[in-house]
Amino acid sequence: MQGWIDGVLDRNWESDVDGTVRFALIGLGWWTTDVALPAIANSDNCETTALISSSTEKAASFADTSGIETAMSYEEFHEGTDSDRYDAIYIGTPNATHLEFASTAAELGKSVLCEKPMESTVERAERMVERCESTATPLMIGYRMQTDPLVQRAREMIANGVIGDPVSAHGQNSQPLLEMIPNPDQWRLNPELTGYGTSVMDLGIYSINTTRFLLDTDPVAVQAQMHSSHEAFEGLADERSASIIQFGDCQLVSTSSQHAQEDTRLTITGTEGQLELRPAFHGDCRLRVSRGDTTITAETDAVDAEYETTELFDYFADRVLAERSVGPDGRHGLTDMRTIEAIHQSAATNERIEL
């Protein structure tokens, strides 16, 4: 217990580099301004040196408030304006706009940290990977759960056999989107911007990717059902969704909804124990591990979404500065994109889709 409580915040990577990665943040939604910006301010090896938004004025206004020197529009970014003032970009814009930003960064020789899901379709995500690989541009997808220390401890326990052979997993990620953002005209409800749909792209991806990380294996087949009835979800199949996602002989059953009581959790049951993250995905993660009749729980006030994001940026900076390969990289993100596409195909056809 002593070692456990002392080591709960340990990183599963070591920072042994000096230097700073200067970031241009693209897309100034609430996540970028309220979470990513302070997270970078707290980081060891990152600094925000440029803000990029739909208009120079919007970017300049945020830059003034935050004491950041450089502000520009998307257009100016694509033209290469002031590109000597940053080393990497963080893409926090709607899904269907990621490819263009990553492509420009690849041309400009800037490293890319891109929010998940990496793009709106498999085809566009593949092009993003190609563009970045063609110029040897580091491309990492922003899977915060993989840098959350409690999730890393969970992964280590599974690898060490604490729960035995994984048997089944339950993932749930739901939220009342229209109460959180009371406007049907938002990009998560716009099929042209979100991609295959909304609940799996935006929420289900957490259960899928975190299970991949915890089990250290990838999905092989999916089955799914979806349903939309509220008028705000017109043109989107998955106001709510349910899937079976097969990881070898372990089945993840996953539900996600953009129109439901908030709940996030991931439970993995094995032949000899059970591991649960609940809440799981919004930064205030609580870990519960059972084996036989014994259960331990771990939670820490030190970790929240901002902390996870600091870890994400510091890890990315460490890889870039040391010229190590980054990961979860674009090809890792592509596996989620193909899984989500298959989940939508399965729901549309009622067929099991092999990956």
Output the smallest distance, CB 301 to a second copy, in A. 19
| End-to-end alpha carbon distance in the chain | 41
- Work out whether 257 is an interface residue with a second copy (CB under 8 A): yes
Q: What is the gyration radius of the CA atoms in the chain, in angstroms?
A: 20
Output the smallest distance, CB 253 to a second copy, in A. 4
Q: What is the dihedral of CA 62, 68, 284, 276, to 10 degrees?
A: 110
| Of 267, 300, 306, residue with least CA distance to 4 | 300
Q: Using CA atoms, how far apart are residues 128 and 331, in angstroms rounded to an integer?
A: 10
- Work out whether 8 is an interface residue with a second copy (CB under 8 A): no
Q: By CB under 8 A, name the one of 108, 181, 253, 355 that touches a second copy.
A: 253
Other C-beta atoms within 10 Å of 259: how many?
19
Residue 67's region, left for phi above 0, alpha for psi from -120 to 50, else beta, is left
Q: Which is nearer to a second copy, 78 or 291 (CB)?
A: 291
- Work out whether 244 is an interface residue with a second copy (CB under 8 A): yes
- Work out whether 232 is an interface residue with a second copy (CB under 8 A): no
Q: By CB under 8 A, name the one of 25, 46, 201, 260 that touches a second copy.
A: 260
- Work out whether 243 is an interface residue with a second copy (CB under 8 A): yes
Q: Which amino acid is present at 281?
A: F
Q: Using CA atoms, how far apart are residues 153 and 133, in angstroms rounded to an integer?
A: 32
Q: Using CA atoms, how far apart are residues 337 and 318, in angstroms rounded to an integer?
A: 26
Peptide bond into 279 cis (omega under 30): yes
How many residues belong to the site for a second copy (CB under 8 A)?
A: 42
Site string for a second copy, 279-298 (x = CB under 8 A): -----------xxx------
Q: In sequence order, what are the beta bridge partners of 295?
A: 290
| Of 15, 334, 301, 287, residue with least CA distance to 155 | 287
Site string for a second copy, 263-282 (x = CB under 8 A): x---x-xxxxxx--------
Tell me which stretch binds a second copy (CB under 8 A): 78-86, 108-116, 129-137, 220-228: 220-228
- Work out whether 137 is an interface residue with a second copy (CB under 8 A): no
Alpha helix segments (H runs only) across 8-134: 30, 37-41, 56-66, 74-78, 98-108, 122-134
- Work out whether 176 is an interface residue with a second copy (CB under 8 A): yes
Other C-beta atoms within 10 Å of 144: how many?
24
Tell me which stretch binds a second copy (CB under 8 A): 21-29, 188-196, 235-243, 279-287: 235-243
Q: Which is nearer to a second copy, 56 or 168 (CB)?
A: 168
Q: By CB under 8 A, name the one of 240, 319, 332, 338 that touches a second copy.
A: 240
Coil, helix or strand at residue 227: strand
Tell me which stretch binds a second copy (CB under 8 A): 46-54, 184-192, 258-266, 327-335: 258-266
Tell me which stretch binds a second copy (CB under 8 A): 81-89, 147-155, 170-178, 329-337: 170-178
Output the smallest distance, CB 178 to a second copy, in A. 10
Q: Are 254 and 204 in contact (CB under 8 A)?
A: yes
Residues that bind a second copy (CB under 8 A): 163-164, 167-168, 170, 172, 174, 176, 223-225, 227, 229, 240-244, 246, 249, 251, 253-255, 257, 259-261, 263, 267, 269-274, 290-292, 350-352
